Structure 1
Amino acid sequence: MVFAALGLLTGLYAGLAKLGFLEDVNVNIPGGIHGPLMINAFLGTLIGLERAAALEKRWTLSGPFLMALSVVFMLFVNLPYGSWLFTTGSFFITLTLLYICFIQPKIYHYIMAMGSTALFIGNLLFAMGAPVFEVVIWWLGFPVLTIFGERLELNRIMRPPKKAQWAFVAFIFMWVLGTVLLHVNRVHGWHLVMVATLASALWLIKYDIARRTIKSVQWTRYSAWCLISGFGWLILTAVFGLIYGLPTAGPIYDALLHMVFVGFVFSMIFAHASVIIPSLSGKIIPWSRYFYLPLVLLHGSLFIRIAGDFLGLYEIRSIGSWINVLAILMFLIGIWVLIFKKNES
């Protein structure tokens, strides 16, 4: 968990460096490793650790261990070595997910395994020298498919009709097919991914348990707001993605990726933190209304950032980016402070 936190903090730093900030700070973390650090060092380590903790088998810790070790190599030793360690770590995380499929052959486990496989393919392409704009769709699949699988698993309580469940599975296979097609025809592949994203988001809004739990209290209600707002960002991503396509670089490229990685993925992280952190650390996070502040800042600043991208206003985009980082740090600091106070008492 310490190395996952290190991956997050250095990834955020690299993101600001990529935007041209922090040039006077004497810390050698290039902006080009922002994506690999956020996807692998942070999400890969955290999700891999969560799966390993659930299984309680030592060999499953090899994936998150290699992800954690790769942070050190990427930052302080050698970038290519770090890339291959990411790749190897994601391979073992995929093996862990496939093992879960073997002992519990449920469709939602297969969907999560597809997510880790997407991470492995993306890392392998990156380590072999593929440009990031070709790799990023595979990296995108890791958190998106993992979360889709988790939501389908949790939504067993809602008992959606069998036809609806299979429709959701069909949307996910459409997502994977579009990802593969992207390497043959970038326009058609991306459009297929966006149609699948839109259909999946609308399905989740209709059938996800968040529709019920939003009437609850404390963490449960807060998580529901995080989930629904995250689904909203997926819808916006799909709409703008269908209109503008996926450029290989530039402000539209930045906007579309951050709608997913910040708007959707971090909403899910905020939603599940009260469950994930206690399961890994044994520390309960006390509830506080304070957590609505970083959530509102996260979404508000992302709107500012996206507006800056689409309007071509670099200063506006920069303000939104800084507040994005601030919102994430405020959420983490709030968790740390409340846990510390609870332990003191």
Structure 2
Amino acid sequence: MSAVKRIVTIGSGGTISAVADARRRAGGGLGAADIVQAAGEPLPGIELSAVDVRRIPGRAMAPADMQAIASTIAAEVAAGCDGVVVTHGTDTVEETAYALALMLDVPVPIVLSAAMRLPGDVGHDGGANVRAALVAARDERVAALGPVLAIQDELHLARWVTKAHTSRVAAFASPETGPVGVFAEDRLQLSATHGPDDHLGLPAGDLGATRVELIWVAAGMDGLLLDAAAERADGIVVAGSGGGHVPPPVAEAIERAIARGVPVVIASRCAAGPTLERTYGGPGGELHLRELGAHFAGRIPALKARLRLQVALALGRGAQEVFPA
């Protein structure tokens, strides 16, 4: 690699790019080149370029958009860049980060960043977060972590990070592991050397054409939602209670879905911890669901299990292959 690191900033929209009017409606939005300007004095040893893939709020981000970001990153890496920063909306940045981990295996850092406050707000956090992302993107060690999120002076792995609060600036956490790095004085202090190997591949076709539904379990649910999903879905992820449990009527609907040939993956709705394997039997327990042919997500959170199944199916790979637990 050259002494000067070539960092590409990819814009996708979100609060970090928003320009709000007096009625708090998002305006046209800032591009990636504009956002970088808020990061302060240029960091030594890097050469910046910018490209915009999307200019949409985080709530509008879909798997097809994530695929477009992944394809852009792959092209920039092939063209010789040394690191990538992706600016994004906070609502879905944890999902895009994990989608990139699934679709990309590249030898350079991929760092996402975002902001909780609009650029015109007092205490806007976007500039500091992007600066941290640039610090991480020039650090060769970060490539081994896979895609990461740089925010609130912390670095988080794609698999574990989640938006844990709706509005405060310190909105992100990794309940399973905590952050793997912290920033101070334009330097990154890492506490990990490698991230999880989540890579599956970049689908050639439209990822959005593969439909995977996520159904959250609540006390007293019946099988209505799951039966409806099985009519059209290519796969279903169920966020079960505790270690991966569902009410007995939902278990009956899971059995019907599997009989139709729809793969069903059981995750947990809990913030941390694995799905269980051999503790609870009876209707809706994990032993029963395994007997029915359901697959289990292990430690992968429900939101990310959905993306993992979606990418796998789009690649022609089965649930058993990517959820072997």
Same fold at TM > 0.5: no
Q: Which has more strand, going by share of residues?
A: 2
Q: TM-score, normalised by structure 1?
A: 0.28
TM-score between both structures, scaled by the size of structure 2? 0.29
Instruction: Name the larger-Rg structure.
Output: 2
